[in-house]
Structure 1
Amino acid sequence: MLLSLIVASFIVMGSPGPSTISVTAVGAAFGLRRSLFYLSGLVAGTIAVLLAVATGLIALLLAVPRLAPVLLSASAVYILYLAYRIATAPPLSRPDGAVAAPSFAGGVLLAVANPKAYVAIAAVFAGSPLGGVAKTAVLAVMIVLIHLVWWLAGAAFGRVFHDPLWSRRVNLAFAAALVATTAYAVM
């Protein structure tokens, strides 16, 4: 049971989506040190989503007919803003201290605005026969591990592209992937 929960969470929650793509992009665009607070915010926000799903709070919110479209619209606006920030980040060969890396609050905001997070966490949570506390604890650890892997991959990937032209291309590709995965999650 535990192994199946871990595998399911790795596949469903760890697949590319707004959160994983954004932490990879921010790690690549801003480096490990400057993106650490954003990573921490994503983890905290995603764990908040997990708790909202586990306690039934999200089901209660979505039961309000006019609230769901408002939440979805706010999510899309923020994710588009983050994609813009990633696309316009300075090349890694010329780090610009004046360009602020996305913040802890930005990570939290993206995590709670991420439609894929709710769907993926709910699917994995509902599909496991383990008790609620055990599922929540295992999924919280998986959230940390998944985000760490994507963040480290982004930072490692970013080191390869110190050329300004390649850096710009990578940032644009990550920004486009963020928009595309969000559009897919919304549909």
Structure 2
Amino acid sequence: MGSILGFLLAAVALLGSPGPAIAALVVVGRQCSTGHALRYFLALQAGLALAAGLSAVGLVALLQAFPALRVIMLVASTAYLIALAWSIASAPPSGGVGGDGQGAGAWRPWGAFILGVTNPKAYLAFASLFGSFILLDPAQGLGDGGLKWLLVVVVMIVVDIAWLLAGRALGRIEMAPRAERAMNIAMGLAILAACVAALV
């Protein structure tokens, strides 16, 4: 039980800290309608769950064996995040989200899935979590990896919902056009900064 608790605490710290996916969730929560934000969230969770599963079965070793695959994933995630950051920073003030779905065009569910599957910060977190803890006797084969994957998915869902709700709360704040423009630029820069930090 102590190992599971330690694993959960580490998972919350690693997966709940700001990164590209979390920055995207905050912005989509602020800019889009509830339905669109939920679809984006679900697609992102599907991508992250797949990435966690691939990590649990040794994708990290595969990436080390084939550096070109790692480069392709980094380029894909970076290009998507740069496009999102530009879309956010250049968005016109809307006077608050109001749940009208403004800006939803930039937040396609397929993009969220790609971000989840290729997110460099997520792979670093998964590699650290899966390599640092033993929750079940290794003799049980895939049992240990399966349990870690399940716990990681639960933690991701909980912390990402919290960040999405934070974005929704920001969207309810009425702002002057100049202040909203400044916030859009700041959020775009935050996504770029999170992307750079994950790459470094």
TM-score (norm 2): 0.85
Distance (whole Å) between structure 1 residues aligned to residue 33 and residue 101 of structure 2: 12
- The CA deviation at 1:101 is 4.7
Distance (whole Å) between structure 2 residues aligned to residue 135 and residue 11 of structure 1: 15
- The CA deviation at 1:127 is 1.7
Distance (whole Å) between structure 1 residues aligned to residue 16 and residue 104 of structure 2: 29
| RMSD (Å) for aligned C-alpha atoms | 2.0
Structure 1 residue ranges without an equivalent (≥5) = none
Taking every aligned residue pair, what percent have the same amino acid on both sides? 34
Quickly say closer, same or farther: Cα 1:134–1:34, change in 2 above 3 A. Answer: same
Count of paired positions: 187
Task: Give the aligned residue type for 2:14.
Answer: V
Q: Does 2:150 align with 1:145?
A: no
- The CA deviation at 1:41 is 1.2
**Structure 2 counterpart of 1:12:** 14
**Structure 2 counterpart of 1:70:** 72
Kept in 1: contact 2:51–2:118 (CA 8 A): no
Quickly say closer, same or farther: Cα 1:29–1:88, change in 2 above 3 A. Answer: farther
TM-score (norm 1): 0.90
Which of 20, 31, 40 lines up with 1:38 in the alignment?
40
Quickly say closer, same or farther: Cα 1:145–1:168, change in 2 above 3 A. Answer: same
- The CA deviation at 1:35 is 1.6
Q: Which runs of 4 or more aligned residues in structure 1 lie more than 4 Å from their structure 2 counterparts after TM superposition?
A: 94-99
- 1:6-40 CA distance string (max 9 Å, x none): 11111011100001111011111224333221111
Give SS of 2:172's match.
helix
Kept in 1: contact 2:32–2:102 (CA 8 A): no
Task: Give the aligned residue type for 1:181.
Answer: A
**Structure 1 counterpart of 2:176:** 163
Distance (whole Å) between structure 2 residues aligned to residue 98 and residue 153 of structure 1: 18
Task: Give the aligned residue type for 1:112.
Answer: V
Task: Give the aligned residue type for 1:74.
Answer: A
**Structure 2 counterpart of 1:118:** 123
